[in-house]
Amino acid sequence: MSASTASRHRELGLTDSEYDLICQKLEREPNGLELAVFSLMWSEHCAYKHSKKLLSRLPTEGPHLLMGPGENAGAVDVGDGLAIAFKVESHNHPSAVEPFQGAATGVGGILRDVFAVGARPIAVLDSLRFGELSSPRSRYLLDGAVAGIGHYGNSIGVPTVGGEVYFEGPYEQNCLVNAMCLGIARKERLIRSAAAGVGNLLVLMGARTGRDGIGGASVLASAELGEDDASKRPSVQIGDPFEEKKLLECCLELLERDTLRSLQDLGAAGLSSSSSEMASKGEVGLDIDVSKVPLREEGMEAFEIMVSESQERMLCVIEPQKLAELEEVCERWEVRATPIGEVTGSRRLRVLEGDEVVGDMPVEALVDDCPLYDLEPRAPESQIYPAPERMLFSEDPAEQLLALLASPNLSSRRPLFEQYDPLVGSRTVRRPQEADAAVLQLSHDGGQGAIAVSIDGNGRRVACDPYWGTVEAVLECAANLACVGAEPLGLTNCLNFGNPEKPHVAWQLERSVAGMADALEALGVPVVGGNVSLYNESGGGPIYPTPVVGMVGKLEDPAKAAPAGFQREGDTIGFCGEFMPHLPGSELAKLQGEELPTELPGRDLAKVRAAHDAVREAVGAGELSSAHDVAEGGLLVTIAESCLAGDIGATVDPWPGEDPALWLFGECPGGGFLVSGTREAIDRLAERTPLAVFGTVGGSSLRARDPADLDVALADLREANGSLHAAFG
């Protein structure tokens, strides 16, 4: 191997041993185009080479599952012949380089994943992480990412119905932008991506191909970011939501006409990944003539065309006799459609430039033979993340409550959600912050009832204890569904971690996946698909390990979905579930500048599931006026949030414990619920799950008489909780 050859493959992220294996598979050295394609297909982003073995631990079967991992999106059966397809994806590194386009194209990509399986996108959610809000860089990234999400979703006409955002120091150099999309389809209209039928045509639809996004999967998504991030801006794609809207409608009409044999999104690695993955799934070969690909820029070389990640493009396989029908539909929608190749029986991906073969690679080598690595996990001997700066010194419960409500992680997200349209499409029953989960009706498509969706994660608690912190994330997501009366049907995930080649990160990843697997098995919920984003690390160290989970559930009557806010003067307040509060690692502990603990308390998952079932049944029966899970900030913050959401006060007395700070502000996400309703309804719920009656709805303040004597006016609670709004001017 020459020095220049060695330098070339290393610059593309391939190791020497991987290069030797490529030569072995090809029985020769690769040319420049082939090396570029292999570098993308064998990148972490496309091949999951450090995580694939771990992911096999996750449960992937369930009674409602229609389409599982391996397709563009997973899908579950919601009855009446309808399916909900959904997936979450990351666009972290591009957003750290160019936040507006990085976030916007992240939304565009997840929308294409959903309509690639034949489902019409009906909702978007986002999960965001930035450095501390006091940081100018974090403010810049936040402003850009939120604007990008709003721009793309609002323009294409898909509502953003929920999400979350956290601000923590370890995300300063590596922000996280995870986007989730849901779509709806008739079950029989779901389509897979496997190419089929030797002699069938390969047609590229949508936007022209340019140099934007070249190398994104290998340059940005499979390596740590450094000080030269700005030089990577050309690797960030440029999105056009109006082009995507036409492409979406065109693809859905073609599927309705039964014109297409298979359909695939062009995302990371562009034509390289879409074509090779379609060929692998169909056990066929593909010939692609890059000279036929419509270009946006002159002088593009063959390898650039193959690896470009230009947006708003889809690849489909059709029978030759249906080409005229496809072209007629595409012309009506003003969507470009160009035959660029055909299906072969060779099991090879051949790239042609006119009559010249410029690349010839075995499909199996590209997709199936990427080396998979065993992690070398080792638990750190001490906490690897520095303690946060102390911001709160008071021991007074009222002052602590106001400080928590004003903190960036707990303040109202209204100034962010106001930039999104949550109602377009007329399905939204519960808007963001009205309930613990978004609720969307199915009646538009002839279905009964509604679906609910939530997205959750808490990197700081996973950093404390990767196993139990991840269990908490799954339980909290399920608890959010229970609060609106929804039964969970399936889960998608995005695993955001640092460099897996480092033992402590490998340990975090391994323990987190184990926690997710055990929690899902206890709940009886399968994983339908997801995404892994690794190498979220810079000179300042790794991000908090951040598994983000999105869960979809079904409820029978959307009118009974409980709001988070108190509703009626005189209602009884109850606290139920399996709640074992813990102060270390909590929001209060962060404000007090405490170091992270190295473990969290364990949980009895069977008892937690029983509590979820009881609350879900009570909400589904229309017995509760409100339901809100107890999560960040603890019980007193949850009560304050319910007061603010309902614009009504409450009196609580006594607290169910002897240690005021522990019971006021201790955390145990996913295990406890704050509920309100008539005394009879609360007593019926108490027959099904452990429950303490400790308050009454009413008045214009939050009052607690024992053991913490406090009385805080709603106006003061609201002013504190609006701090994020003030930060946005």
CATH code assigned at 7: 3.90.650.10
In order, the DSSP letters of 247-289 are HHHHHHHHHHTT--SEEEE--TTHHHHHHHHHHHHHT-EEEEE
Q: Which residues contact 471 (CB under 8 A, 6 or more apart)?
A: 515, 516, 518, 519, 603, 605, 670
Judge residue 208's burial from the number of C-beta atoms within 10 Å of its C-beta, 0-12 exposed, 13-18 middle, 19 or more buried: middle
**In-domain check, residue 218:** yes
Residue 591: its H or E element? helix 587-591
Q: What angle do CA 684, 688, 693 make, to 5 degrees?
A: 60
pLDDT exceeds 80 at position 276 = yes
What is the number of domains present in the chain?
A: 1
Cα–Cα distances (Å) from 41 to 217, 499, 536, in that order, read: 9, 19, 20
DSSP designation for 211: S
Question: Closest Cα partner for 675 from 567, 589, 540?
Answer: 567
Q: Which pLDDT band, with edges at 50, 70 and 90, does 316 fall under?
A: very high
- CA–CA distance, 282 with 196 (Å, rounded to integer): 6
Contacts of 556 (CB under 8 A, 6+ apart): 448, 449, 485, 620
Positions of E strands within 27-150: 65-67, 74-79, 82-90, 120-130
Distance of CA 281 to the CA centre of its chain: 25
What does the alpha-carbon distance between residue 618 and residue 616 come to, in Å, rounded to a whole number?
A: 5
What is the model's pLDDT at position 727? Answer: 63
What is the per-residue pLDDT for 660? Answer: 81
714-721 and 635-646 helices, crossing angle to 10°: 100
Classify residue 710: in a domain, yes or no. Answer: no
Q: Among 96-105, 288-297, 415-424, 492-501, whose mean pLDDT is lowest? A: 415-424
pLDDT at 232 over 50: no
The residue-averaged pLDDT of 84-89 equals 97
How many degrees, rounded to 5, is the angle at CA 208 between CA 204 and CA 213?
100
Q: Please give the full DSSP string across 128-173, using - where no structure is assigned.
A: EEES-TTSHHHHHHHHHHHHHHHHHHHHHT--EEEEEEEE-GGGSS
Q: Which two tokens stand for residue 127?
A: 């999960």
C-alpha torsion 681→686→690→694, nearest 10: 60
Matching residue, tokens 């991987």: 18
Query: Residue 424 in contact with residue 123, Cβ under 8 Å?
Result: no
pLDDT number for residue 677: 98
| Predicted confidence (pLDDT) at residue 497 exceeds the cutoff of 90 | yes
Contacts of 46 (CB under 8 A, 6+ apart): 40, 217, 268, 269, 273
- What does the pLDDT look like over 326-373, one tens digit per residue? 999 999 999 999 999 999 999 999 999 999 999 999 999 999 999 999
Q: What is the mean pLDDT of residues 566-585?
A: 94
How many residues are there in the chain?
729
Which residues are 672's β-sheet partners?
577, 630
Provide the CA 101 distance to its chain's centre, in angstroms. 18
Q: Could you report the per-residue pLDDT of 439-480, keeping only the tens digit for each?
A: 999 988 888 999 999 999 999 999 999 999 999 999 999 999
C-alpha 531/C-alpha 659 separation (Å) is 41
Residue 394 is assigned to a structural domain of this protein: no
CB within 8 Å of 328: residues ≥ 6 apart:
none
Task: Tell me the per-residue pLDDT of 183-202, one tens digit each, with 9 for 90 and over.
Answer: 999 999 999 999 999 999 99
Q: Which domain holds residue 5?
A: 1-60+191-370
pLDDT of residue 534: 94
Query: Is residue 230 pLDDT above 90, yes or no?
Result: no
Assigned token pair, 453: 């969706």
Asked if the structure places residue 599 within a domain, the reply is: no
Q: At what angle do helices 503-523 and 466-483 cross, to 10 degrees?
A: 40
Q: Could you give the angle at the alpha carbon of 72 between the alpha carbons of 516 and 326, nearest 5°?
A: 170
- Lowest model confidence (mean pLDDT) among 330-339, 535-544, 568-577, 714-723: 535-544
Mean of pLDDT over the chain? 92
Lowest mean pLDDT among 12-26, 283-297, 497-511: 12-26
Domain-embedded: residue 30: yes
Let me know if residue 723 belongs to a domain: no
Q: Between β-strands 176-186 and 313-318, what pairing exists: parallel, antiparallel or unpaired? A: unpaired
User: Of all residues in the chain, what percent are helix, strand and coil, respectively (each to 5)?
Assistant: 40, 25, 35
Share of the chain above pLDDT 90, in %: 82
Q: Using CB atoms within 10 A of its CB, is residue 423 exposed (0-12), middle (13-18) or buried (19+)?
A: exposed
Which amino acids are annotated catalytic? 45, 91
pLDDT at residue number 227: 46
How does residue 235 score in pLDDT terms, banded at 50, 70 and 90?
A: low
Q: Indicate if the pLDDT at residue 11 is higher than 90.
A: no
Percent of the chain with pLDDT over 70: 95
pLDDT at residue 729 in the model: 52
Tell whether the model's pLDDT for residue 684 goes beyond 60. Answer: yes
Question: How many angstroms separate the CA atoms of 700 and 694, rounded?
Answer: 18
Mean pLDDT, residues 665-686 taken together: 95
Residue 176 in domain: no
Cβ count near 388 (within 10 Å): 18
Pairing status of strand 285-289 against strand 348-353: parallel
In the three-class reduction of DSSP (H, G, I as helix; E, B as strand; rest coil), residue 230 is classed as: helix
Residue 215: what pLDDT? 57
Widest Cα–Cα separation across the chain: 84
